[in-house]
């Protein structure tokens, strides 16, 4: 910085530590990942030693220059001195400072990708998952859902619940398989509901008209064939199953 200024026009910005002065634009610029600057009012930054890099672009001390993470790795947030693999769906090539995201519709087969060429699998939408063997997206099966994008598996509904269709995107779409117990059925008010084992992943229950009434369980009417019916005289003839 020059001394002995003779006019206000010779006054320049005094940049903070971690920044350098861009004299052409008369603006303070961050030192960048490979540099640091402990002093104020500087027009250049100091380079980190070979094989090291600063975690931020505004490092102020040499101690902030840590060993570089290699291709396919990034700095571990919880322990800055250590490296970890780039997450699935990202990559880090030689010379990159941080892991880069794959193009929108693509992902990687695993963590630690070292080049964009490994972004070669479809990035599956919610409600589906990537089948690594088929290298294609598959809908979540009945009883499962997936609310995230770019996964290799689906999440199971809690016990006693299933989904109405494949490709479910949220756990709020998991429905009870105990319709009778929960009152989630369409049996007639003159019929008894009974839960049945799920049928191919779908909720299943049955309806049976009370003694003295006939019908399919969803509709029941008085059995005119027997004007007087004892409760234990007949099991009725109206059983039906319903899958929904």
Q: What percent of the chain has pLDDT over 90?
A: 52
pLDDT digits 0-9 by tens, 24-71: 888 999 999 889 999 999 999 999 998 888 878 999 999 999 888 899
Give the integer Cα–Cα distance in Å for 169 and 213: 42
CB 140 within 8 A of CB 129: yes
**CATH number for the segment(s) 12-66:** 2.10.50
Mean per-residue pLDDT, 97-111? 91
- Band (pLDDT 50/70/90 cuts) for residue 239 is very low
Mean per-residue pLDDT, 230-234? 46
CB 125 within 8 A of CB 150: no
Give the domain ranges of the chain: 12-66, 69-123, 125-176, 178-226
| pLDDT at site 236 | 46
Residue 200 has pLDDT above 80, yes or no: no
189-194's contacts with Cβ under 8 Å and 24+ in sequence apart are 190/215, 190/220, 191/215, 191/217, 191/218, 191/220, 191/238
| pLDDT at site 47 | 95
Count Cα atoms within 13 angstroms, Cβ side, for 20: 16
| pLDDT at site 221 | 95
CATH classification number, 69-123, choose in 1.10.1300, 3.30.70, 2.60.40, 2.10.50: 2.10.50
Residue 21 has pLDDT above 50, yes or no: yes
- Computed over every residue of the chain, the mean pLDDT equals 85
| pLDDT at site 7 | 60
Q: What percent of the chain has pLDDT over 70?
A: 86
Structure tokens at 173: 């779409």
Residues 6+ apart with CB under 8 A from 129: 137, 138, 140, 146, 151, 152, 153, 154
| pLDDT at site 227 | 56
Q: What is the DSSP string of 87-118?
A: PTTEE--TT-SS-EEPPTTEE-SSS-B-SGGG
Please say whether the structural domain 125-176 has been given the CATH code 2.10.50: yes
CATH classification number, 178-226, choose in 3.40.50.1980, 3.20.190.10, 2.10.25.10, 2.40.30.10: 2.10.25.10
pLDDT digits 0-9 by tens, 125-156: 999 999 988 889 999 998 899 999 989 999 99
Q: Look at the pTM and tell me if it is higher than 0.75.
A: no
Query: If DSSP codes are grouped into helix, strand and coil, which group holds residue 192?
Result: strand
| pLDDT at site 114 | 96
46 versus 162: the higher-pLDDT residue is 46
């Amino acid at each position: 910085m020059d001394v002995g200024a003779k006019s206000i026009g010779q006054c320049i910005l005094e940049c903070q530590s971690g920044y350098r002065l861009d004299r052409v634009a008369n603006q303070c610029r961050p030192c960048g990942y490979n540099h640091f600057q402990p002093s104020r009012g500087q027009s250049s930054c100091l380079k980190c030693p070979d094989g090291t890099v600063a975690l931020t672009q505004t490092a102020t001390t040499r101690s902030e220059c840590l060993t570089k993470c290699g291709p396919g790795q990034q700095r571990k947030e919880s322990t800055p001195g250590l490296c970890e693999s780039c997450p699935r769906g990202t990559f880090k090539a030689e010379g990159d400072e941080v892991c880069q995201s794959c193009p929108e519709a693509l992902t990687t087969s695993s963590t630690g990708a070292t080049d964009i060429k490994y972004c070669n699998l479809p990035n599956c939408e919610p409600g589906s998952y990537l089948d690594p063997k088929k290298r294609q997206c598959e809908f979540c099966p009945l009883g499962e859902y997936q609310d995230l994008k770019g996964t290799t598996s689906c999440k199971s509904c809690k016990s006693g619940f299933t989904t109405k269709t494949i490709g479910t995107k949220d756990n709020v779409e998991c429905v009870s398989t105990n319709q009778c117990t929960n009152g989630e059925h369409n049996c007639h008010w003159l019929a008894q509901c009974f839960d049945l084992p799920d049928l191919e992943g779908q909720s299943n229950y049955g309806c049976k008209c009370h003694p003295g009434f006939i019908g399919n369980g969803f509709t029941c009417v008085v059995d005119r064939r027997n004007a007087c019916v004892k409760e234990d005289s007949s099991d009725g003839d109206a059983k039906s199953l319903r899958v929904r």
